[in-house]
Amino acid sequence: MQITPQIHQLTIPFTVPSPAGPIPRSANLFLINGQEITLIDSGVKGAEATIFAYLQTLGRQPAEIAQLLLTHSHPDHIGAARALRDSCGCLIAAHVSERCWIEDVTLQERERPVPGFQTLVGGSVALELELKDGDRIELRDGHSLEVVHTPGHSAGSVSFWLAKERTLFCGDAVPLPGDIPIFTDYRASIASLKRLRTFQADWLLSAWDEPRHGDEGRQRIDEALAWLALIRETVQSTASQSPEMDPLALCRRVVHALGLPTFAANPLVARSFMACLVD
């Protein structure tokens, strides 16, 4: 999907196994088609085939991919990073807080055991450029991407601001209302959303959502803030009723109260809910 003259979105489907059967999911990655090609996130293992096929439709070659910028280290964002680096020799960049899980996916699988992890991630890859808030990544056409540190979903989550196109690439920083909530730090998530709200973006481009234009993007951020506030209120209310409840039992009750699907009662979501109890 072409969003602007330079920006293209590719949606990469995948499935996550569960006791009730495979759960269909997808993640968006973005391609900046300039004098050289910049990718924002890589999708899951095997996504390189979709990327290369799309490049052909643009009259471009894989070797023209100069850099892969990772918003964070979760499987649906780094899964094809190794294959892309091996095929194209592109530079890999991410926030320093994400380095250990990018360079050692076995460590990530052990510390964050996502079902089907090995089917989603094609291997570890060396991080060649550490990003920090305020960095500028120069593009060969004279424009640049500004790095915006937006922690909460993970400690090293970053967004990218392309001023030329007035576009915010926000990764997973903006949760979808009613969708499964994944975050490690509630307060950081709220602060990151409020910061993203200050950008006067024409486009908000998320890994989880369709492209949002103008006021739609700002409205989506407001909805995300309201969704997180509802989650926190529900978690705290449920926990106050049974203070001795273990995290997974608390998770099951909150999932039910929020009307989320039953498969959302899992350790990853339980961690998110426990983050709502931290002052």
Full DSSP string of 15-54:
EE--TTSPEEEEEEEEEEESSSEEEE---STTHHHHHHHH
What's the angle, vertex CA 104, arms to CA 65 and CA 39, rounded to 5?
20
Q: What is the pLDDT of residue 142?
A: 80
Per the CB < 8 A criterion, the answer to whether 188 and 175 are in contact is no
Q: What is the pLDDT of residue 23?
A: 86
Q: What is the pLDDT of residue 184?
A: 96
CB-CB neighbours of 110 under 10 Å: 10
Q: pTM for the whole thing?
A: 0.96
Q: What is the pLDDT of residues 241-257, one digit of tens each?
A: 988 889 999 999 999 99
CA-closest candidate to residue 276, choices 244, 246, 228, 232: 232
Q: What is the pLDDT of residue 242?
A: 84
Up-side HSE of residue 170: CA atoms within 13 Å toward CB? 33
Residue type, 208: W
Q: What is the pLDDT of residue 239?
A: 96
What's the angle, vertex CA 142, arms to CA 164 and CA 138, rounded to 5?
90
CA distance 230 to 23: 25
Q: What is the pLDDT of residue 18?
A: 79
CA-closest candidate to residue 36, choices 83, 73, 76, 91: 91
Domain 7-236 has CATH 2.60.40.1930: no
Q: What is the pLDDT of residues 98-135, one digit of tens each?
A: 999 999 999 999 999 999 999 999 999 999 999 999 99
Lookup result for tokens 């989506």: 220
| Alpha helices per DSSP H over the chain | 47-57, 75-78, 81-88, 99-103, 105-111, 117-120, 186-197, 215-241, 247-258, 267-275
Q: Which residues of the chain have pLDDT under 50?
A: none
Q: What is the pLDDT of residue 243?
A: 83
The residue ranges of every structural domain in the chain are 7-236
DSSP at 2 = B
| Longest Cα–Cα distance in the chain | 61
Per the CB < 8 A criterion, the answer to whether 17 and 116 are in contact is yes
Q: What is the pLDDT of residue 249?
A: 96
